[in-house]
Amino acid sequence: MFNQNRIYRVFRLINLLKSTPAKSIKRLSESMEVSERSLYRYMELLVEVGFEIQKDSSNRYYLNHDHIESFTKEEAELISQSISSNNKNNPLVKSIRTKLVLLDEMNVTSNEIVASHYSKVISKLQEAIETKSQVVLSKYQSASTESVIDRFVEPVSFSSNFDSITAFEVESGRNKFFKIERIGDVQILGKPFEYAYKHESLESDIFGFNDTGERHHVTLQLSMRSMLWLKDDYPLSVSYMKEVEDGKWILEVEVFSMEPVNRIIRSMPMDILSIN
């Protein structure tokens, strides 16, 4: 039904829309290496099969975490059989069956494709650390500047859960965190480290921000919806959550930057309340 590149782009778009922060059309099209017109077509396809793509006040797009879940293979087969038994030539039935096939492909394959990509990125970075080789992080998606650019770095060490890596960025002359999910690819240059004496393994907060000397004590009241969302997107937050009453949780934690906290509160104003 779809060739391999188109299927990969569908999965890539789902992954981009699920990860924070929300993204502009320009950034999405650059990350996927397609025109804005093509991007809209992919977004329309996701909406058509049941995903809720939403837009924030800055015209940036994200995927509603409460979107419709994909059917299991057994459920999809049963629905397909039921609607086609006496309506084989009905155009609406054909359309529904096509959507069921696509939903099933997404459900089975999307996580495997994304996981495989992350595994390759981590493997290349691990090789670069072991051989002390400089690398280029291709098409890195910067959350702060809303840009997609290559980063010339010397990788230092992974975070404990391998969702980010500390690397010395040659251009800025600083050690920084880079999120694995935002790395398009890794090019090992075959050139040895030049700035090993400047390498440092950075400490990060639950949102992946590195220690810049600032400390912010944050206390948030969460609904069940926002609690589940934070657990999925920021697994390290689990250790700092406690249930205070049915349907309400408190997140109390120290962070190095208020940027992700403020962004999260803005994105879910009815579910997250700052109480400090």
pLDDT at 2: 42
Number of domains in the chain: 3
Q: What is the CATH number of the domain that holds 184?
A: 2.30.30.40
Q: What is the mean pLDDT of residues 6-27?
A: 79
Percentage of the chain lying above the pLDDT 70 cut? 74
Of 87 and 221, the structure prediction assigns the larger pLDDT to 221
Q: What is the CATH number of the domain that holds 239?
A: 3.30.70
Q: What is the mean pLDDT of the chain?
A: 78
Looking at the fold, whether 11 and 102 belong to one and the same domain comes out as: yes
Q: What is the mean pLDDT of residues 213-240?
A: 85
* Rounded Cα distance, 179 and 162, in Å: 9
Looking at the fold, whether 190 and 221 belong to one and the same domain comes out as: no
pLDDT at 68: 45
Looking at the fold, whether 11 and 109 belong to one and the same domain comes out as: yes
Check pLDDT > 70 for residue 180: yes
Mention every residue, 6+ apart, whose C-beta is less than 8 A from residue 212. 256, 257
If pLDDT is split at 50, 70 and 90, which confidence band does 133 have?
very high
Q: What is the mean pLDDT of residues 138-167?
A: 82
Of 151 and 142, the structure prediction assigns the larger pLDDT to 151
Q: Given CA atoms 36, 229, 247, 217 in this order, what sign does their dihedral have? A: negative
Of 220 and 103, the structure prediction assigns the larger pLDDT to 220
Nearest to 240 by CA among 226, 254, 228, 229: 254
Is 205 part of a structural domain of the chain? no
Of 62 and 118, the structure prediction assigns the larger pLDDT to 62
pLDDT at 131: 93
Q: Which residues of 227-237 are buried (b: 16+ CB within 10 A; e: fewer)?
A: bebbeeebebb
Check pLDDT > 70 for residue 233: yes
pLDDT at 194: 96
Domain span at residue 225? 216-274
Mention every residue, 6+ apart, whose C-beta is less than 8 A from residue 101. 1, 76
pLDDT at 114: 59
Region of poorest pLDDT, from 80-84, 201-205, 264-268: 80-84
pLDDT at 49: 67
Of 276 and 214, the structure prediction assigns the larger pLDDT to 214
